[in-house]
Amino acid sequence: MEPAAGITLDNNHKLSLKELPYLIRWRDDRCKRCGRCTAVCPVKAIEPGVRVQRVTFSEGPVPKPGSQRRVVHVVEQVLDAARNCVGCATCSLVCPNEAIEPELNPNNKILHYKNTGGDGYKRGGRRNDPSISVLDRLKFTRISMLTDPALDAGRHEFRVRSLLGRILPPEELPLKAVDGRLIVDSRAGRFIPPVREIFPIMIGSMSVGALSPPMWEGLAMGIAYLNEVEGLPVVMASGEGGMPPRLLRSRYLKYFIIQIASGYFGWDEIVRALPHMVEDPAAIEIKYGQGAKPGDGGLLMAQKVLKLISGIRGVPQFVDLASPPTHQTKYSIEEAVAKMIQSMSMAWGFRVPVYPKISGTKTARAVLNNLARNPFAAALSIDGEDGGTGAAYNVSLDKMGHPIASNLRECYLDLVRQGKQNELPLIAAGGVGKRGNLAANAAALIMLGASVVSIGKYIMQSAANCFGDEHNRCNLCNTGKCPRGITTQDPKLYRRLDADIVAMRTVEVFKSANTELKKIFAPMGRSTELPIGMSDGLSIDDKAMAERLGISYAC
């Protein structure tokens, strides 16, 4: 049928501003047309434009209003789903006159259009869920007072430390009493698994490649400073993608957990460095899953595979580096996981704890029970749905995965039922510090049963001012266009980031977390050992959640 007379179709397939997630608020009167905003926009969502407008003006010794049609220069928002404003507000950051800022459009329909070319919407960042998480709803309600004096967080001696590694049950310790004194019976031939004493919050796996050189370097410097100067044994995981060769051969390696994942990226270099290592790494993490994109492998998009990354990973430049969703050697958990744990253990002479990381899932207990029976498994890391990533399909980020709180709790209680709660440490991650409450979220997870808590997004925000939030702000980590220089390999962008400031902020974050953990543990009367599984200290304002977590309901 012919179109109705008088109606043009020119604009019919264009989006209207209402469809876009962020609307640019640009002020003509303030803008001096310097062009910084349009130059800096990482997605080219704004453009300089030229329009003919009727302009009203008054001039002369006795001003009299008049009007004129003039050519004016404006900043315009692009109506293209591929270039929608992501709300990062880098434009506001560079504007000298506060003339521009993005504004969230809560009624946007952008997800309907982010599938051009027949591919799903890919992005980085986190799950877009601005609601208050379970971790933030947990309260610490058991306050020592008259029956037991509360401790002075500032002056009492505290020990905020945890253990990473397989811990022998007391019955299996190779001890014997000689003249009323216990000695280690070296002739018993008992293997004593390696155990590390660490700060209970660690930096989770973010790879060289996903992160820019100054970001990764800044975190690594902060970690070394925390250990060597501040005496806080914080460890950091490498992510899949290897580590800088010099670091592998340095004495600082002991503060790092090296990850091996299904793409084995970076392991050529690691294996080559093995004979030259002067220290053992803190641990080896075998990645089987990631909370942000369960069932997906790692993904480093071609635009981030520059020279440095291709060198470390041993791959050509500018190709997508997609790790398979599963390890190709994996046939069954009984066979291949056990073998992989043993192979990794053997590579370092059984001196390094080796543990798997999985995404939060209903099947976590099955994995856990298998590991509980494997005497070489050093821990289990569970990454909940609120974990972040450098690149994933939006559908995986938003809709796949299991919340960490109940997943961790059921795993811990399963270990309790088997009497193995002290043998296999649980590492919990995914949404820790989502709303800035790092210490409180970490303490809550510890009291639900975690031995160690792992963070990612929190440190990116705190140490490097990442723009991301739960309203899909920025989340450009996959594109290599990170406006903060955190997740990019483009020197023009990562030069914006100062590794020394990242290191300094990393130190500040962990020092303050240490203080805040004491402020939580002190009123609960705990100072000597980490209150792992001290669930009587927790309450929540929802009966169903309280029942699910096996804690009290308080309102």
Partner 1 sequence: MCRLAAITSNDYFSPMENILALETMKEGHDGSGLGLTLKDLGGEFEGLKRYPILSGVGSKKGMEMLDSYMKRKGFKLIHNWSPSLNPVRGIAAREYYFARAYAVPGSCAEGSFSDCEDLLLKTRLELRHLGEPDQSLFVFSFYPDVLTLKEVGDPLEVGEFFGLDRGALKSRICFAQGRQNTNYAIYLYACHPFFIQGYCTMTNGENTAFVPIREYLESRGIPGYMGYNSDSEVFAHILHYTVRHLGMPLRYYKDVITPLMKESELEKRSDKDALRLMRQSLRPLCIDGPNCVIGFTPDGTTFMLQDAKKLRPGVVGGVHGKYAIMSEECGVDSAVPKRDRSTDVFPMKYDMVTISPHAQEVTVWNQLQG
Min dist CB 173 to partner 1, Å, is 5
Pull the structure tokens for residue 530.
């980490």
Min dist CB 361 to partner 1, Å, is 24
The Cα 332–Cα 343 span in angstroms is 16
Nearer to partner 1, 417 or 492 (CB): 417
The Cα 476–Cα 398 span in angstroms is 15
Q: Strand 256-260 vs strand 236-237: parallel, antiparallel, or unpaired?
A: parallel
The Cα 368–Cα 455 span in angstroms is 21
Min dist CB 279 to partner 1, Å, is 18
Min dist CB 326 to partner 1, Å, is 33
Which class for 344: exposed (0-12), middle (13-18), buried (19 or more C-beta within 10 A)? buried
φ, ψ (nearest 5 deg) of residue 158: -115, 155
Nearer to partner 1, 64 or 181 (CB): 181
Nearer to partner 1, 151 or 474 (CB): 151
What radius of gyration, in Å, describes the C-alpha atoms of the chain?
27
Q: Is 389 left (phi over 0), alpha (psi -120 to 50) or beta?
A: beta
Nearer to partner 1, 148 or 335 (CB): 148
Helix 438-448 vs helix 499-521: crossing angle, to nearest 10 = 50
Nearer to partner 1, 162 or 478 (CB): 162
Min dist CB 415 to partner 1, Å, is 9
Min dist CB 416 to partner 1, Å, is 5
Nearer to partner 1, 167 or 354 (CB): 167
The Cα 220–Cα 239 span in angstroms is 13
Min dist CB 530 to partner 1, Å, is 9
Pull the structure tokens for residue 41.
């926009």
Nearer to partner 1, 62 or 177 (CB): 177
Nearer to partner 1, 1 or 177 (CB): 177
Helix 404-418 vs helix 438-448: crossing angle, to nearest 10 = 30
The Cα 443–Cα 518 span in angstroms is 10
- List strand residue ranges (DSSP E) for 192-249, in order: 196-198, 201-203, 236-237
Neighbouring-strand partners of residue 184: 175
Min dist CB 414 to partner 1, Å, is 11
Nearer to partner 1, 20 or 424 (CB): 424
Nearer to partner 1, 167 or 368 (CB): 167
Question: Between the CA atoms of 421, 422, 427 and 433, what dihedral angle is there, to the nearest 10 degrees?
Answer: 90
Min dist CB 555 to partner 1, Å, is 21
Neighbouring-strand partners of residue 4: none
Min dist CB 409 to partner 1, Å, is 13
Min dist CB 228 to partner 1, Å, is 16
Min dist CB 147 to partner 1, Å, is 5
Min dist CB 151 to partner 1, Å, is 7
Min dist CB 524 to partner 1, Å, is 7
The Cα 367–Cα 287 span in angstroms is 13
The Cα 505–Cα 261 span in angstroms is 29
Which class for 552: exposed (0-12), middle (13-18), buried (19 or more C-beta within 10 A)? middle
Residue identified by tokens 């003509």 is 28
Nearer to partner 1, 213 or 531 (CB): 531
Nearer to partner 1, 167 or 367 (CB): 167
Cβ atoms 139, 554 nearer than 8 A: yes
The Cα 367–Cα 379 span in angstroms is 11
- 211 contacts: CB under 8 Å, gap ≥ 6: 219, 239, 390, 486, 487
Nearer to partner 1, 6 or 180 (CB): 180
Nearer to partner 1, 316 or 419 (CB): 419
The Cα 427–Cα 282 span in angstroms is 14
Residue identified by tokens 């990764």 is 216
Q: Strand 354-359 vs strand 283-287: parallel, antiparallel, or unpaired?
A: parallel
Binding site for partner 1 (CB under 8 A): 144, 147-149, 151, 157, 159, 163, 167-171, 173, 175, 177, 180-184, 192, 195, 416-419, 421-422, 524-529, 531-536
- List strand residue ranges (DSSP E) for 165-317, in order: 175-178, 181-184, 196-198, 201-203, 236-237, 256-260, 283-287, 299-300
